[in-house]
Amino acid sequence: MLSRVANSIYWMCRYIERAENVARFISVNLNLLLDMPSEKGKHWEPLVMITGDQALFEKMNSDYNRDAVIRFLTFDRDYPNSILSCLAAARENGRSIREIISSEMWEHLNNFYLELADAKSLTMALEDPHRFFKIIQMRSHLFTGLMDSTMSHGEAWNFARIGMMMERADKTSRILDVKYFMLLPQADLVNTPIDNIQWTAVLKSASAFEMYRKEHHHITPRKVAGFLIFDSQFPRSIRHCIAKAQICLHRITGSPSGSASNVAEKRLGRLKADIEYTDIDEVVDHGLHEYLDRLQTRLNQVDGAIGTTFFNFKPLIENATQEQSQA
C-alpha cells in the first residue's frame, strides 16, 4: 500500500486512542474529586502533567481550575493534543484515506468530530461532564469496534493496530509515571483510605481496576505498577500492547516472529524481550521513574523506526513527507 496511506491510517488510530485516553483521565479525575477532601487547585494539575504539556497550558491559563483544564484538554484548537484537535487530525487523516477505510468508520468518525465541534458540546462538557466524557470514550470504542468488524484485517488494519498499541503503551506509562511521582513521597498517606482511593483512580485511569482486582485483590503501589507494566493479559498493560504491536508488524512484513527484517522489527523485538524478562522488583530497585522514562524513549524510537521503514523512505527526494508531530 501507499506509504502516505499507511502513515495516515497509523496516525488516525493514534489520535483516536489519544482522544479516548484524555477523556478517560478527565472522567476518572471527576470521580476521584467526589471522594476527596476539597483542596483547591491541586487535583487538576496532574491531568495536564500526564500529557506533558504544562508549559503550553500555563502560557494560556493562569491557574489549574476545573473549567480551564477541561477547556484546554477538550476543546482547545491551539493545543494539538486536545480531544478536539486529536479528532480533527484523525478525521483529516481519515478523509485522506476514506477509500481505504470502510464507510461505517468514516461516517462515524465524521459525525463524532462534527458533533464535538458543535458549540453545544462545550456547554454539555461543563454542565454534565460525567456523561459527556463517557460519550467520548464510548464513541472511540465504537470506532475501534467498527474498524475490527467492517474492515479487512490486511496491511492497512495492521498499521492501524500498531498505531493504537503504540499510543496506548505510551499513555499507560505516563499515567503510572505521574501518579507514582505524586503519590509516593506522601509517606504518611500510605495505606490511608485516601491513598487507597488514589491508587484505585490510577487503575481506573487505565480501565484496569476490575481486572486488577481479579488478579491481585489488594491494592499496593508495587502491584499496581507491576500490573500496568507487566501483566500479559490486560489489554492496556505495556507488555500486552508491545506484544500486539509486534504481531501486527510481522504480519505486515511477513517475516517470522523471532527474526527481524528491518530496524523497526529489531527495536520492537528487543523492547518486547526486555519487558518479558524483567519484573517489578527489579524495576523498583532501579527506580520506577527512570525505568518509565527510558521506556518512553524506546517507544519513541520504535515509532521513529516504523516511520523511516514504511512511511518516508524516499531518500532521493528532498522534503520528504514530514512525520506527523507527536506530543
Partner 1 sequence: METFRTYDTGAFYDELIEANGQPRSGAQLLVDKIESLPAGDLVLRQKAAEAMLLKMGITFNVYGRDEGTEKIMPFDIIPRIVSSSDWQQIESGLKQRIFALNEFIQDVYNDKRILKDKVVPEDLILTSRTYRKECEGFTPPRGIWCHVTGTDLVRDGDGCFYVLEDNLRCPSGVSYVLENRQVLKRTFPQVFGASRVRPVDDYPTKLLEMLEFLAPDNVQTPTIGVLTPGIYNSAYFEHSFLSQQMGVELVEGQDLVVSDGFVHMLTTKGLKRVDVLYRRIDDDFIDPAVFRPDSMLGVRGLIEVYKAGRIAMANAPGTGIADDKVIYAYVPKIIKYYTGEEAILPNVPTYICREDQDRAYVLAHLDQLVVKAANESGGYGMLVGPHATETERAAFAEKIAAEPRNYMAQPTISLSRVPTIVGNRIEGRHVDLRPYVLFGEEIYVQPGGLTRVALTKGSLVVNSSQGGGSKDTWVL
Q: Which residues bind partner 1 (CB under 8 A)?
A: 1-4, 6, 92, 95-96, 98-99, 103, 106-107, 110-111, 114, 117, 155, 159, 252, 310-311, 313-314, 316-317, 321
182 by DSSP, 3-state: which? helix
- The angle that helices 3-34 and 83-96 make with each other, rounded to 10 degrees, is 160
Cβ proximity to partner 1, 34 vs 119, nearer residue? 119
- The angle that helices 155-183 and 238-253 make with each other, rounded to 10 degrees, is 160
CB of 17 to partner 1, least distance (A): 21
Nearest to 262 by CA among 297, 311, 300: 311
Cβ proximity to partner 1, 93 vs 205, nearer residue? 93
3-state SS record for 187-217: HHHCCCHHHHHHHHHHHHHCCCHHHHHHHHC
Cβ proximity to partner 1, 114 vs 138, nearer residue? 114
CB of 6 to partner 1, least distance (A): 5
CB of 172 to partner 1, least distance (A): 27
Cβ proximity to partner 1, 100 vs 203, nearer residue? 100
CB of 57 to partner 1, least distance (A): 23
CB of 109 to partner 1, least distance (A): 9
CB of 296 to partner 1, least distance (A): 26
Radius of gyration of the chain (CA): 20
Cβ proximity to partner 1, 106 vs 133, nearer residue? 106
- In the block, residue with C-alpha cell 488510530: 13
- Which grid coordinates belong to 281? 522488583
- Half-sphere CA count of 24, side-chain side, radius 13 A: 25
CB of 99 to partner 1, least distance (A): 3
Cβ proximity to partner 1, 112 vs 234, nearer residue? 112
Cβ proximity to partner 1, 223 vs 251, nearer residue? 251
- Which grid coordinates belong to 247? 504481531
Q: Which amino acid is at 278?
A: T
Phi, psi of 312 (to 5 degrees): -135, 65
d(CA 161, CA 265): 15
Cβ proximity to partner 1, 92 vs 195, nearer residue? 92
Alpha carbon dihedral 112, 116, 120, 123, in 10-degree steps, equals: 130
CB of 272 to partner 1, least distance (A): 21
DSSP 8-state code for residue 294: H
22-42: burial string, b at 16+ Cβ within 10 Å, e else? bbbbbbbbbebeeeeeeeeee
